[in-house]
Structure 1
Amino acid sequence: MTAETARHWQAAPVDSGHRFDATRRWDASLSLEFAARATDADSRMRTRLTRARHHGPLRVQRPFYPEPRLAGQADPCHVYLLHPPGGLVSGDALKIDATVAPMAHAVLTTPAATKLYRADSRGVVWSQTNRLEVEDGGVLEWLPQETIAFDGSRGEQRTDIDLHGSARCLGWEIMALGRPASHLPFESGRIEQRFQLTHDGRPLWIERQPLDPMHPRFTGRWGQGGATVQATLWAAGLNDLRQAVDNLRDAIPAAGNWAVTQRHGVLLLRYLGDSRNEAWALCRAAWQAIRPLMIARDACEPRIWRT
């Protein structure tokens, strides 16, 4: 690139999406709505994807209906969230909004791991914001595959969940720091994770977690303890939290880097260790144990997980 061309790109308007200076930004957004509708064939209820608006490189595949029909329930709608670049770089700003209407049931996942790439020489950050709303009687399962943070990545992940009435939500977030197999640990950069879950406007769970390898918390036994993989699974809307905890302890070996607790009607399972496969297997086993209690359905894994 010539000096004249570089000056041209750096002088481009902010909203052009093609800046290469410290203020550049590439937006992508996806807005989804799910509603329960009667089918024409036999009037049974099925969850339909009634809105899918996107801007930039965020898409969804067609809805899938792999689960058996159950009386009194709308057929769950499985949707795969696609981000063709496969990861976030400096300046990326992803926004995902999903709304589940009364009696509808949506299962959202991703086709592969999300990668958080190293920040550029100017340290420009990326961001991802997930806003999930479930109306009275609706069900949402938020089951993305893991996120892998490369050394030097800088950005913020935020997940806000708003539940109303008898809404239920089951989900997880799995974060792997660095690439130990390639001898590339997470030694620099900073990632901030924020979670907020409310019920009818009342906060149930609010959490902020900075991941900074330069902070004593990152290696201290009182904090991260040097672990390279962490996961959080949550479940809100369970009728019997005690039974859910017992089911987890029966389904998952007691020896392991995990713990479970419940507070304000929210069940939280945590993993802290050094194995993405172990964290993934733990979350799947926990989901399989909790799902029948929450929605009276056995776990039905999205087909994309087997590819």
Structure 2
Amino acid sequence: MTTLSTPPLSPKDTLDYGHRFDANRRWEASLTLGFAAYPERDTSITRMNVARHYGPLRVQRAFYPEGRNGCCHIYLLHPPGGLASGDSLNIAVSVDKNAHTLLTTPAANKLYRADSNGVAWTQHTHLKVAEDAVLEWLPQETLAFDGSRGQQMVIIDLAETAKCLGWEIIGLGRPASDLPYVSGIIEQHFQLTQNGRPLWLERQVIDPTHPRFAGKWGQGGATVHATLWAVGLSDPEATISELRDKIAPNHNWAVTYRRGVLLLRYLGMERNEAWDLLQQAREILRPRLIGVKSVTPRIWLT
């Protein structure tokens, strides 16, 4: 099975890599965010107390559409709008005790075709959630162009009483332009731990030349994948029953619960169908997870 690797950095300035066009091309961007709960009258308010960035990756401000004592909404901004060969995005988020944060993006992320040297891109996300804190990780979808090569990694470290609700959606090719994903390779990793104990470890390689890509025993030719996770549910069995009862039956999705992690999966051909499914699931899950109804981030409506 084909895997990807990224050339190690040398002591040279990263800018030198960004202006190269050979196999050593590298352009880095990083964002480190921290959130803490601060006392305010009879309750507390979540504020962003750390915001460090390097390169074209940043945030502008915090939003409070659920009230000042509600969830702190943050929009992750990446002005280039996508990843090209050599790009390296690193996102680190830390949510302290009793804080509640929602992170999303203003638009779909694009994974562009690799250059003539086949240089890969990388995107690493590390989410850390402390005791009694809540993190919602809800980026808009990722769209992979034909020929894209790269590696995505999502690492989630939870404390014992932390709660997390998140999703990842990827669409392959550009069907509206009749440009399917027929070449390239994308390697995805998910790692979720609680108090250092691994609860969900997963690796998949999206390779259109592998028999699994088209085989009915594997991906079956599906061009859209979506995974939603929830950790911290008090009644997972009732939650799964409600999901199955309230979401229209569809052979493209299924839900399971193991080792304290609820996983809802979509495998199909319609990006909008996957997006609608996850939003419906969130409307059910959020009240059960944190006792607050689902609020749509304003950026999704623009």
Q: What is aligned with 1:33?
A: 34
The number of residue pairs the alignment matches comes to 290
Contact 1:91 1:126 in 2 (8 A): yes
CA shift, 1:68, in A, is 4.2
Secondary structure of 1:133's counterpart equals strand
What letter corresponds to residue 96 of structure 1 in structure 2? I
Q: What is aligned with 2:210?
A: 215
Out of 80, 84, 94, the residue aligned to residue 75 of structure 2 is: 80
Q: What is aligned with 1:7?
A: none
Counterpart CA distance in 2 for 1:256 and 1:225 is 13
Q: What is aligned with 2:48?
A: 49
Secondary structure of 1:24's counterpart equals coil
Q: What is aligned with 2:113?
A: 118
Q: Does 1:231 align with 2:226?
A: yes
What letter corresponds to residue 146 of structure 2 in structure 1? D
Matches within 5 A, 1:11-26: 13=12, 15=14, 16=16, 17-26=18-27
Contact 1:29 1:58 in 2 (8 A): yes
| Structure 2: runs of 5 or more not aligned | 1-11
Out of 188, 191, 212, the residue aligned to residue 196 of structure 1 is: 191
Contact 1:14 1:25 in 2 (8 A): no
What letter corresponds to residue 21 of structure 1 in structure 2? D
List, as ranges, runs of 4+ consecutive aligned residues in structure 1 with deviation greater than 6 Å: none
Counterpart CA distance in 2 for 1:232 and 1:279 is 9
Counterpart CA distance in 2 for 1:243 and 1:64 is 32
Q: What is aligned with 2:61?
A: 62
CA deviation map 1:192-225 (0-9, x unaligned): 0100000000000000010000000100011110
CA shift, 1:256, in A, is 3.8
Matches within 5 A, 1:1-307: 13=12, 15=14, 16=16, 17-39=18-40, 42=41, 44-68=43-67, 74-307=69-302
CA shift, 1:21, in A, is 1.2
Which stretch shifts more, 116-125 or 60-69? 60-69
CA deviation map 1:203-254 (0-9, x unaligned): 0000001000000010001111000101000001111110110121122112
Secondary structure of 1:181's counterpart equals helix
Counterpart CA distance in 1 for 2:71 and 2:239 is 22
CA shift, 1:18, in A, is 1.9
CA shift, 1:75, in A, is 2.1
What letter corresponds to residue 58 of structure 1 in structure 2? L
Q: CA RMSD in A?
A: 1.3
TM-score normalised over the length of structure 2: 0.94
CA shift, 1:61, in A, is 2.3
Contact 1:173 1:231 in 2 (8 A): yes
Counterpart CA distance in 1 for 2:173 and 2:13 is 32
Secondary structure of 1:59's counterpart equals coil
Contact 1:14 1:23 in 2 (8 A): no
TM-score normalised over the length of structure 1: 0.92
CA shift, 1:14, in A, is 5.9
CA shift, 1:255, in A, is 2.7
CA shift, 1:43, in A, is 5.1
Secondary structure of 2:62's counterpart equals coil
Contact 1:247 1:290 in 2 (8 A): no
Secondary structure of 1:221's counterpart equals coil
Which stretch shifts more, 267-276 or 13-22? 13-22
Counterpart CA distance in 2 for 1:95 and 1:296 is 32
Secondary structure of 1:60's counterpart equals coil
Secondary structure of 2:73's counterpart equals strand
Counterpart CA distance in 2 for 1:186 and 1:230 is 13
Q: What is aligned with 2:5?
A: none
Counterpart CA distance in 2 for 1:18 and 1:237 is 45
Contact 1:174 1:231 in 2 (8 A): yes
What letter corresponds to residue 30 of structure 1 in structure 2? L
Contact 1:141 1:169 in 2 (8 A): yes
CA shift, 1:38, in A, is 2.1
| Structure 1: runs of 5 or more not aligned | 1-12
